[in-house]
Amino acid sequence: MAALQAEGQRERFGVAACLKATFLPFAKRPLFFLVAVLLIGVGFPFAIVSGAISLLLSQGVAADEFAGNIGWTSIICCFLCQCFLLAIASIAAYDVHTQGGRSVQQYISIALRRYLPLVLIVAIVLLLILMGQSIFPIVGLWVMASFTPILPILLVEKANFAAVRRAGVLTQYYRWPIICYNFILIMICLVIIVPMTFLVLDLDSRLVALVAPKAFYFGFAVVATFSALGSTAVYQRLRAIKEHRSMVDVFS
């Protein structure tokens, strides 16, 4: 009976309010986050070029092995680059919510200090999500919901491997609403990306080959940036629900 009463008294997650909080940083600082999208988009080609250069400097690599190593090196470089840029986007979103007034240099400093644990734990979380998806799609979505607030936990609370347990505690009882939130956010990103895709496909065939990769980078950057903003918004909402922290001091 007590459990049923607790269930009835549990505060609603509020998907609409969380979506509004997700786009608030972009509305407050559009130029900064537009630059963030462009930088994250540049990360992909930068990773490919850096991977190719590193392998060109090596010696005695067969052609087929060379091609395979370029792929793996590019993926690793891309992952490392994106982790850093997404950390900055998450910190900036947190700063907007708290009206902290920090500088870009401070964002970079925080991201650098937390970079190593962030890379390790994000890699583990991505592996868990992929394992869940391989079992059944809904399992992957459930795992994704469980770790949605992992970025601000790592950056703001300065948690290391304890961030995994902390994310599980925060998202407990709210994973289905978070799955719904993540789905809607992805749909909004697709609304931004799909029209651009059709415009690219309508171009002359010679232009398509030139523009299509850049459109792909931009599409990835939009999804990645809003995932960082969404992680911060979900974190803020869950702490407000479970720990009764206001939006202003929720990250203190």
List, for residues 194-249, the tens digit of each pLDDT value: 777 666 555 555 555 555 566 666 777 788 888 889 999 999 899 988 887 655 55
Percent of the chain at pLDDT exceeding 70: 71
Two tokens at 174?
């709210």
Please, is 230 exposed, middle or buried when counting C-beta atoms within 10 Å of its C-beta (0-12, 13-18, 19+)?
buried
Q: 164 by DSSP, 3-state: which?
A: helix
Q: Classify residue 140: in a domain, yes or no.
A: yes
Q: Classify residue 137: in a domain, yes or no.
A: yes
Please provide the distance, in angstroms rounded to a whole number, between the alpha carbons at the two ends of the chain.
36
Q: Classify residue 35: in a domain, yes or no.
A: yes
Q: DSSP alpha helices (H): ranges in 29-100?
A: 30-56, 63-98
Nearest CA among 238, 39, 82 for reference residue 156: 238
Q: Classify residue 142: in a domain, yes or no.
A: yes
Two tokens at 118?
């962030």
Number of independent structural domains in the chain: 1
Instruction: Write down the mean pLDDT value for the chain.
Output: 78
- The alpha carbon torsion through 174, 179, 184, 188 (nearest 10 deg) reads 120
Q: What is the pTM of this model?
A: 0.79
CB 224, CB 40: distance < 8 Å:
yes
Helix, strand, coil tally for the chain in percent (to 5)? 85, 0, 15
Q: What is the pLDDT of residue 150?
A: 93
Percent of the chain at pLDDT exceeding 90: 23
Task: Give per-residue pLDDT as tens, 86-96.
Answer: 899 898 898 88
Tell me the C-alpha distance between 48 and 44, whole Å. Answer: 6
Owning domain of residue 135: 26-243
Q: Which residue has the higher pLDDT, 131 or 198?
A: 131
| Mean pLDDT, range 185-192, rounded to an integer | 87
Q: Classify residue 228: in a domain, yes or no.
A: yes
List the beta strands (DSSP E) in the chain. Answer: none
Tell me the C-alpha distance between 20 and 22, whole Å. Answer: 5
| Mean pLDDT, range 133-153, rounded to an integer | 90
Q: Classify residue 248: in a domain, yes or no.
A: no
| Mean pLDDT, range 13-22, rounded to an integer | 90
Q: What is the pLDDT of residue 179?
A: 94
Task: Give per-residue pLDDT as tens, 49-104.
Answer: 555 555 555 555 554 555 455 556 666 777 888 888 889 989 889 888 887 788 88
Label residue 133 by pLDDT band (50, 70, 90): confident
Nearest CA among 3, 36, 46 for reference residue 222: 36
Q: Classify residue 64: in a domain, yes or no.
A: yes
Q: Classify residue 8: in a domain, yes or no.
A: no
Tell me the C-alpha distance between 17 and 23, whole Å. Answer: 10
Q: What is the pLDDT of residue 180?
A: 95
